[in-house]
Amino acid sequence: MANIKSAKKRILVNQTKADRNKAIRSAVKTSMKKVDAAVAANDKEAAAAALVNAISTIDKAASKGVYHKNNAARKVSNLSKAVNSIA
């Protein structure tokens, strides 16, 4: 354990940020799973609705710096491609 006051604060702040990032990542994964489930069920309307929600969640995560913008773009692209593949 750190002895210096500033080092103790760093530990606390880093833990807080890590918890926040973990919650945001979890929300992104959940929204992506909802899209995948709708695609697997061939439910185009539900998939489209879930896609809008997932894109919003992913964009928020990217804007907060949890994901790199290219990583977020790749996730959105893959989800969109999956939804568009439903006949």
Domain ranges of the chain: 44-87
pLDDT > 90: percent of the chain:
95
Q: How many of the other CB atoms lie within 10 Å of CB of 50?
A: 22
What is the three-class DSSP state of 30?
A: helix
* pLDDT < 50 stretches in the chain: none
How much is the pTM?
Answer: 0.88
pLDDT in the model for residue 87: 65
